[in-house]
Amino acid sequence: MDPRPARARTGSTVAGASSVISPLPGWLRRGVAYGLAVIVLSLVGWLVVMALLRVGLVAFVLLAALLLSALLAPPAHNLRQAGVPRSLAALLSLAVLIGVPVGIGYLLYTQVTQQLQDIGPAVTEGLDTIRDWLVAGPLQMDQAAIDDLRASALTTVRDAAPSPVAGTATAISAVTGVALLVFAVFFLVKDGDTIWRWALSWVPVDHRQRVDGGGRVAWTTLTSYVRGTALVALGDAVGIGIGLLVLDVPLWLSLALLTFVGAFVPIIGATAAGAAAVLVTLVTNGAPDAVIVLGIVLLVQQVEGNLLQPLIMSGVVKLHPLAIVTAVTAGTLLLGIAGAVLAVPVVAVAYRLVGFLSGHDDAPPVTDADRYDEHEDEPHGLGGPEAHAAHEEAGRDAAGGGEDAKGDAGGGAGSDQDGTAEQHARPRAGSLDGARAGGTDLP
């Protein structure tokens, strides 16, 4: 048996292990640690993505509800400030959100049905002109090859149409998703701050301020992105729509709406919408007008990139165009069109959140829009006043009990430890509890 004390044997073991690790360079040890962290985080991220894909409809609806809530939160807050009850303010905001697309859809339906008969001959003539140019023009394409290409396109469109069973299932899923979306948006606009406060009440007191700051950074980034993108999209749609209207291009309102929707998919969406406008003009109005529309599209995109984007989106999406295109491509591969729309806001929020957690960005200040109206109902979260108060008291008792235990274990320094425990049991300045004690509510 080793006659040395146990402490000495342990020390020699640690020293032996250190002698094995110490020859490794510091950069190699740091690289291994960072590599393991990246592997673990990648695994966790993969598991989260797989879980979300298993409930893709619910995940997409909730993410879309967050985007729409970010768009409706400011007007709903203004209505509450004007004295409108919280539920009615959320309902009015939601009614506008539903009414505007329904009204635009009705206008599109009436315009398309009225113009389909008029533009039918023009489309046929335009297609014949394009075919003659392809055959007799500089490309000198074979007529049989063009006919085969046309037949292949028609077959692809016909095969893409779903079967009756698949169409019914898709319609049921769409109705379910829309109902869940409306339900989620209403309650996020009405009780979003209450839900956030309830979630914060489950966070330990020592970490509550940091979590609250991260949540406000994420929400501020999301609201700024949605509002800024909507303004930029509106500018693109108005510019291109006016040009199409002046040139008397059929379906100009539909193309303007397509431009507005496409702007929510950065870079790629605007390019696709512009190409659609040029092609429709080429088929219906001819090559000269198509060239003019191409110039209008390029001019609008230049105004967007050099004026609207820096003026409206400056400081919101600090992402390189390569990162944006990569995010849109990855989102499209994962979730199709929905992934393309959600990719950039998710990446922008994650980027700002990482910057805040790493200490590079500060949390946005608490504005009046973030504060909770204490005179309204249910100010204590989802669990009600009693449950919320009991949970807060239990958390403070647990923190105080832990400090008292440390003080008892300290022996002769018991009085100092008791003082420290009392100091830590009180709400900290800047935390959610501290803010409430000082009369200020955080979101």
**Statement: residue 62 has pLDDT above 60:** yes
Same domain, yes or no, for 224 and 173?
Answer: yes
Residue 268 maps to a domain:
yes
Same domain, yes or no, for 332 and 408?
Answer: no
Rounded to an integer, what distance in angstroms lies between the CA atom of residue 433 and that of residue 430?
8
Same domain, yes or no, for 395 and 279?
Answer: no
Alpha carbon 209 to chain centroid, angstroms: 23
Same domain, yes or no, for 235 and 289?
Answer: yes
Q: Are 432 and 207 in contact (CB under 8 A)?
A: no
- In angstroms, the first-to-last Cα distance of the chain is 64
When pLDDT is averaged across residues 56-83 and rounded to a whole number, the result is: 88
Q: How many domains does the chain have?
A: 2
Rounded to an integer, what distance in angstroms lies between the CA atom of residue 226 and that of residue 341?
11
Is residue 113 very low, low, confident or very high in pLDDT (cuts 50, 70, 90)?
confident
pLDDT of 116: 66
When pLDDT is averaged across residues 428-441 and rounded to a whole number, the result is: 38
Is residue 156 very low, low, confident or very high in pLDDT (cuts 50, 70, 90)?
confident
pLDDT of 413: 43
Q: If residue 230 lies in a helix (H) or strand (E), which one and from where to where?
A: helix 205-246
Rounded to an integer, what distance in angstroms lies between the CA atom of residue 104 and that of residue 102?
5
Domain's final residue, options 357, 375, 406? 357
Q: Are 276 and 339 in contact (CB under 8 A)?
A: no
Write down the pTM of the prediction.
0.63
Q: Are 237 and 263 in contact (CB under 8 A)?
A: yes
Q: Which residue has the higher pLDDT, 391 or 87?
A: 87
Q: What is the pLDDT of residues 119-128, one digit of tens each?
A: 666 667 677 7
Q: Which residue has the higher pLDDT, 285 or 43?
A: 43
Please tell me which of 243-247, 262-266, 338-342 the model is most confident about, judged by mean pLDDT.
243-247
- Residue where the block lists tokens 């049989």: 144
Same domain, yes or no, for 280 and 318?
Answer: yes
Four-residue CA torsion sign, 249, 253, 259, 262:
negative
**Statement: residue 370 has pLDDT above 50:** no
Residue 182 maps to a domain:
yes
Residue 74 is part of which domain span?
Answer: 62-200+208-357
Q: Are 220 and 363 in contact (CB under 8 A)?
A: no
Is residue 147 very low, low, confident or very high in pLDDT (cuts 50, 70, 90)?
confident
Residue 23 maps to a domain:
no
Same domain, yes or no, for 157 and 252?
Answer: yes
Closest CA to 349 of 158, 156, 220: 220
When pLDDT is averaged across residues 25-39 and rounded to a whole number, the result is: 87
Alpha carbon 259 to chain centroid, angstroms: 20
Closest CA to 201 of 390, 429, 402, 430: 390
Same domain, yes or no, for 79 and 225?
Answer: yes
Residue 340 tokens read as 């393309």
When pLDDT is averaged across residues 58-65 and rounded to a whole number, the result is: 86
Rounded to an integer, what distance in angstroms lies between the CA atom of residue 194 and that of residue 184?
14
Is residue 40 very low, low, confident or very high in pLDDT (cuts 50, 70, 90)?
very high
Same domain, yes or no, for 174 and 255?
Answer: yes
Rounded to an integer, what distance in angstroms lies between the CA atom of residue 231 and that of residue 316?
14
Same domain, yes or no, for 337 and 398?
Answer: no
Rounded to an integer, what distance in angstroms lies between the CA atom of residue 63 and that of residue 60?
5
Q: Are 80 and 89 in contact (CB under 8 A)?
A: yes
Q: Are 196 and 215 in contact (CB under 8 A)?
A: yes
Dihedrals φ, ψ of 265, to 5°?
-110, 95
pLDDT of 183: 92
Same domain, yes or no, for 334 and 388?
Answer: no
Contacts of 294 (CB under 8 A, 6+ apart): 274, 278
Rounded to an integer, what distance in angstroms lies between the CA atom of residue 390 and that of residue 424?
19
Count how many residues are written for the chain.
443
Percentage of residues in the chain having pLDDT higher than 90: 11
Same domain, yes or no, for 335 and 390?
Answer: no
pLDDT of 430: 40
Residue 55 tokens read as 């409930």
**Statement: residue 13 has pLDDT above 60:** no
Q: Which amino acid is at 435?
A: A
Biggest CA-to-CA distance, the chain: 105
Q: Which residue has the higher pLDDT, 122 or 386?
A: 122
Is residue 43 very low, low, confident or very high in pLDDT (cuts 50, 70, 90)?
very high
**Statement: residue 441 has pLDDT above 70:** no
Q: What is the pLDDT of residues 200-250, one digit of tens each?
A: 889 898 888 888 888 888 888 888 888 888 888 898 899 999 999 999 888
Q: What is the pLDDT of residues 401-420, one digit of tens each?
A: 444 444 444 444 444 444 44
Rounded to an integer, what distance in angstroms lies between the CA atom of residue 213 and that of residue 442?
10
Q: Which residue has the higher pLDDT, 244 or 49?
A: 244
pLDDT of 420: 44
Question: Helix/strand/coil (H, E, C) string of 91-118?
Answer: HHHHHHHHHHHHHHHHHHHHHHHHHHHH
Average pLDDT, rounded, for the chain: 74
pLDDT of 383: 44
Residue 443 maps to a domain:
no
Contacts of 236 (CB under 8 A, 6+ apart): 259, 260, 263, 270, 273, 300, 301, 304
Q: Which residue has the higher pLDDT, 89 or 410?
A: 89
Residue 19 maps to a domain:
no
pLDDT of 387: 45
When pLDDT is averaged across residues 331-338 and rounded to a whole number, the result is: 80
Rounded to an integer, what distance in angstroms lies between the CA atom of residue 305 and that of residue 137?
36
Rounded to an integer, what distance in angstroms lies between the CA atom of residue 415 and that of residue 123?
91
Residue 368 maps to a domain:
no
Burial of 396 (0-12, 13-18, 19+ CB in 10 A): middle
Rounded to an integer, what distance in angstroms lies between the CA atom of residue 383 and that of residue 198?
8
Domain's final residue, options 306, 339, 357? 357
pLDDT of 393: 52
Same domain, yes or no, for 421 and 343?
Answer: no
When pLDDT is averaged across residues 105-123 and rounded to a whole number, the result is: 72
pLDDT of 299: 92
Instruction: Specify the range with the lowest mean pLDDT, choosing from 182-191, 345-354, 377-386, 390-399.
Output: 377-386
Residue 371 maps to a domain:
no
Residue 416 maps to a domain:
yes
